[in-house]
Amino acid sequence: MSQPALSSARCCAQPVRRAKPYVMTLITDTVALERFAQSIETAPFMAVDTEFLRETTFWPKLCLVQVAAEGAEAIIDPLAPGMDLAPLLRLMAKPDLVKVFHAGRQDLEIFLKLMHGVMPAPVFDTQIAAMACGYGDSIAYDALVQAVLKRHVDKTSRFTDWSRRPLSEQQLTYALGDATHLRDLYPVMLAQLARGNRLDWLDGELAALIDPAAYDVEPENAWRRLKVRKTQPEYLAVLATAAAWRERTAQARNVPRARVLKDDALYELAEQRPRKAEAFERLRAVPRGFGNSRAGQELAQAIDTAMEDPIAAAPEVERSAFPMSGGGPILELLKVLLRLESERHGVAPRLLANAADLEAIAASDEADTPALQGWRREVFGERALALKQGRIAMTLQRGKVVIVEC
Which residue type occupies 265?
A: A
Q: Are strands 45-53 and 98-101 parallel, antiparallel or unpaired?
A: parallel
DSSP one-letter string for 335-375 = HHHHHHHHHHHT--HHHH--HHHHHHHHH-TT---GGGSHH
CATH number 1.20.120 is the correct assignment for the domain at 323-405: no
**By C-alpha distance, which of 209, 247, 197 is closest to 225?**
247
- Angle between helix 3-11 and 169-195 (nearest 10): 90
CATH number of 219-313: 1.10.150.80
φ/ψ (deg, to 5) at 405: -75, 145
Contacts of 153 (CB under 8 A, 6+ apart): 141, 142, 145, 146, 177, 181
Q: Where in the chain is the domain with CATH 1.10.150.80?
A: 219-313
**In angstroms, rounded to a whole number, what is the distance separating the alpha carbons of residues 328 and 359?**
9
Q: Which CATH class is domain 3-215?
A: alpha beta
- Does the bond joining 166 to the residue before it have cis omega, within 30 degrees of 0? yes
- CB–CB of 362/335 below 8 Å? no
Most distant pair of Cα atoms in the chain: their distance:
71
CB atoms within 10 A of CB 153: 17
**In angstroms, rounded to a whole number, what is the distance separating the alpha carbons of residues 80 and 165?**
10
Q: Where in the chain is the domain with CATH 3.30.420.10?
A: 3-215
**In angstroms, rounded to a whole number, what is the distance separating the alpha carbons of residues 30 and 380?**
51
**In angstroms, rounded to a whole number, what is the distance separating the alpha carbons of residues 357 and 353?**
6
Q: What is the enclosing helix (H) or strand (E) of 72?
A: strand 72-76
DSSP one-letter string for 93-150 = H-TTSEEEESSTHHHHHHHHHHTTTPPP-SEEEHHHHHHHTTS-TT--HHHHHHHHH-
- The CA distances from residue 380 to 115, 204, 354, 384, in Å, are 39, 16, 12, 6
Task: List the chain pLDDT tens, one digit each, 406 residues.
Answer: 334 444 444 444 333 344 444 456 899 999 999 999 999 999 999 999 999 999 999 999 999 999 999 989 999 999 999 999 999 999 999 999 999 999 999 999 999 999 999 999 999 999 999 999 999 999 999 999 999 999 999 888 888 999 999 999 999 999 999 999 999 999 999 999 999 999 999 999 999 999 999 999 999 999 999 999 899 999 999 999 999 999 999 999 999 999 999 999 999 999 999 999 999 999 999 999 999 999 999 999 999 999 999 999 999 987 654 455 545 899 999 999 999 999 999 999 999 999 999 999 999 999 999 999 999 999 999 999 999 999 999 999 988 999 999 8
